[in-house]
Amino acid sequence: MQFEMGFDFPGPVGVFTGRPWQPHATIDPDLVDRMRREVPLHFQVSDHLLQILGVRGVTEPKELERFFYPAIDQLHDPFLLREMDAAVERMFLAARRGEKVAVHGDFDVDGLTGCALLVETLAALEVGGSSPQVMPGFIPDRATDGYGVAERMIRQWASEGVQLLITVDTGAAAIAELELAGELSMDVIVLDHHIFEQRPPAVAVVNPRRTDADYPNTELCGVAVAFKFAQALKTGDPQCLPDDFLAGVLDLVSLGLVADQMSLVGENRILVKKGLERFNDRGLIRPGLAALLDISGLDRGFPVTTGEFAYQLAPRLNACGRIGRVMSALELLLTRDPERARVLADEANRTNSRRKEQDLLLKDEAIAMAVPFVERGDPGLVLSSNSWHKGIIGIGSARLVEQYQIPVVLIAVEGEEARGSARSVPNVDVKEVLDKCSPFLMRHGGHAQAAGMTLRAKDIPAFREAFLDVLRHEDHSGPIPEGYDLDLCLDRLGSKDVARLVRELDHLEPFGSGNRKPVFRCCGLQLQRPPSVLSGGAHLRFAFRGPSQPLDEDTPALGREFISFGTGDAWRRMMEKEGWQSRDLLDQRWDILFQIGRSTFRPRSGQYDPVQQLLVDIRPAAST
């Protein structure tokens, strides 16, 4: 049995993802045996854990040591970043002279945390008994200032006597704005990670992704570049910042790295792991982040993980930048007043609730508009509406990419002008596609998987045709396969076996881009009953048949149910397409992809189960 999703590839595809499945790699048993002898842990670990490490390329003794015992002294030398020496020299000069210094961030979590980190760095900086005069940090308003560096603030700062401007997570493409700064006698340091074609006029452009970069880690985001700047200041003059300063801002760095979906390997893994340690210390977490955790309804009895960053904290901060008061989000990160933090966290929460309502409306409208184009086999989607808010079209684009596995551009029309947000699949560089469509765009920028653009409303039809034409000639072959780490035969395991494996997987954290939470495959299962619907049908709960007898006096692992989030629509579409009734599901055998992890749900009555099983994808078993 095979579900067709508009692409031609062999074999069955998943009901939820629309993708074929394939293992990430196959590990030689001899390699696992060698790793067992060299893994630097004081207790025995299972082959499952070693195989996952092997799949991810962590096999050598030094790699294993750094993986299990990351330390700040393992970070790269910040002066390996080009022009970092010039940035530090100019900053020290500003401190010695007592110059007025301004910080310009961006309206996403990366730009917010980067701005907060720099404001705290400058406020703590002292060189030879002198300090800079720090202006209040600034984040542009998406609706009034748009993307990039705000010209109005350049002029305002110049009138206030600012002599040095530092941009973070922005500035690499702000040629005209930084030229204006120079004309108004203002020097600029750019701390960014976005690709640029022409070097902006600045005294230093510190960017790990510049074409001449040779820094070992190209996956630094804006706040991480800002941290490397602070690290370089501390390296250049160990007395210029307090001894514990760098450790004190790792919470901001870790949040920004996760929210910007940077690869959590190597240096980034160290930064995020150390930042999480600070998050989980009740005496160290900053009031604003503590208030965000509380307002998110998280049980503080469980450790904060990158999952809370991605799904609880980041959306609330991003909502302020998309449809709310973005400066309130910056104040939330900087305030040391717990009462003020609670007020600001409540505002962020209410703004996020409004954002979610708008997201759902936009998604429903966009899917209805997309269906005819998907059915005719278009290689991408370009959809527009004058009822969409430009602050949430990026989220909508990402959701349509998840659903249809093709590049998507959603455009919010405002009179004669329109703002678009593009998201892509891994095998299509949407920035390159937009470059080829530039005659129809007023401006555009971004990277391979996400980009933004401004265009005239009247040019949308021509842009759509150009975009689709470029995609038709791109060298790609449909959906990227859904990868999994290992086969895990749940029908041969007990519930305690799975609980032990969950505890082992804790050693692989933090999870995120580049270090995904492990995905397992189990084949040939039968359903106990049709899936139960949750939250009005948005989510599903699955129960599979387990062995009739207990395994070694343990409850069978398949006794646990699986939760699947946001997949109700995909399941219903499959049922309608196949013409199946509920009873047909029970006669079918199924292959599944799933994840296991610690449960953070404590029932008011009954026994607490420490394990949660998440269904990632499901398909009719290949043998049937």
Residue with tokens 């595809």: 13
pLDDT level of residue 11 (50, 70, 90 thresholds): low
Closest CA relative to residue 136, chosen from 95, 103, 94? 103
Instruction: Decide if pLDDT at 555 tops 70.
Output: yes
Residues 604-608: what's their mean pLDDT? 67
Token reading at 372: 């005819």
Domain ranges for the chain:
78-279, 377-472, 483-620
Each residue's pLDDT tens digit, 140-160: 998 888 878 999 999 999 999
Q: Find out whether 231 and 78 touch, Cβ atoms under 8 Å.
A: yes
**Tens digits of residue pLDDT in 50-72:** 999 999 889 999 999 999 999 99
Return the DSSP state at 287.
Answer: H
Whether 605 has a pLDDT exceeding 70, the answer reads no
User: Buried b / exposed e across 573-588, counting CB within 10 Å, b at 16+?
Assistant: ebbeeeeeeeeebeee
> What does 466-482 look like in DSSP terms, one character per residue?
HHHHHHHTS---SSPPE
> Would you say 486 and 508 are in contact if contact means Cβ atoms under 8 Å apart?
no
Contacts 24+ apart (CB under 8 A), 172-177: 172/196, 172/200, 172/205, 172/207, 173/148, 173/200, 173/445, 174/148, 174/149, 174/200, 175/200, 175/201, 176/151, 177/148, 177/149, 177/150, 177/151
Helices (H), 515-614: 568-578, 582-587
75-112 in b/e form (b: 16+ CB < 10 A) is bbebbebbbbeebbebbbbbbeeebbbbbbbbbbbbbb
pLDDT digits (tens, 9 = 90+) for 465-500: 999 999 998 765 556 678 899 999 998 888 888 999
pLDDT at 454 > cutoff 60: yes
The answer on pLDDT for 394 being more than 90 is: no
Residue 573 has a pLDDT of 85
- pLDDT digits over 66-110, tens only? 999 999 999 999 999 999 999 999 999 999 999 999 999 999 999
- Under a CB-based contact definition with an 8 Å cutoff, are residues 202 and 138 in contact? no
* CATH number assigned to the domain covering 78-279: 3.90.1640.30
Backbone angles phi, psi at 52, to 5 degrees: -65, -45
By percentage, how much of the chain surpasses pLDDT 70? Answer: 95
pLDDT of residue 3: 40
Mean pLDDT in residue range 585-589 = 91
Which residue, chain included where needed, has tokens 């801002």? 249
Over residues 368-387, the pLDDT tens digits come to: 999 899 888 899 999 999 88
- Dmax (CA) for the chain in angstroms is 80
DSSP secondary-structure letter at 198? S
The predicted pLDDT at position 300 comes to 64
Structure-block tokens of residue 234: 């501390």
**Residue 567 C-beta-side C-alpha neighbours within 13 Å:** 22
CA distances from 95 to 99, 181, 227, 232 (A): 6, 20, 18, 15
CATH of 377-472, one of 3.10.310.30, 3.30.450.70, 3.20.20.70, 3.40.50.300: 3.10.310.30
8 has a pLDDT exceeding 50: no
pLDDT at 194 over 80: yes
CA–CA separation, 413 vs 608, rounded Å? 50
Alpha-carbon distance of 403 to 15, in angstroms, equals 11
CA–CA separation, 385 and 361 (whole Å): 12
User: What's the confidence (pLDDT) of residue 12?
Assistant: 78
3-state secondary structure 166-177: EEECCCCCCHHH
pTM (2 d.p.):
0.85
At the topology level, CATH places domain 483-620 in OB fold (Dihydrolipoamide Acetyltransferase, E2P) (2.40.50)
* R_g of the chain computed on alpha carbons: 26
Average pLDDT for the chain: 89
Query: Which residues in 197-348 belong to E strands, given as ranges?
Result: 204-206
Residue 36 φ then ψ, to 5°: -60, -40
pLDDT-based confidence at residue 356 (cuts at 50, 70, 90): confident
Concatenating the DSSP letter of every residue in 47-101 gives HHHHHHHHHTT--SHHHHHHHHS--GGGSPPGGGSTTHHHHHHHHHHHHHHT-EE
What does the alpha-carbon distance between residue 370 and residue 97 come to, in Å, rounded to a whole number?
Answer: 58
**DSSP track, 120-132:** HHHHH--BTTB--
Q: Are the C-beta atoms of residues 166 and 192 closer than 8 Å to each other?
A: no
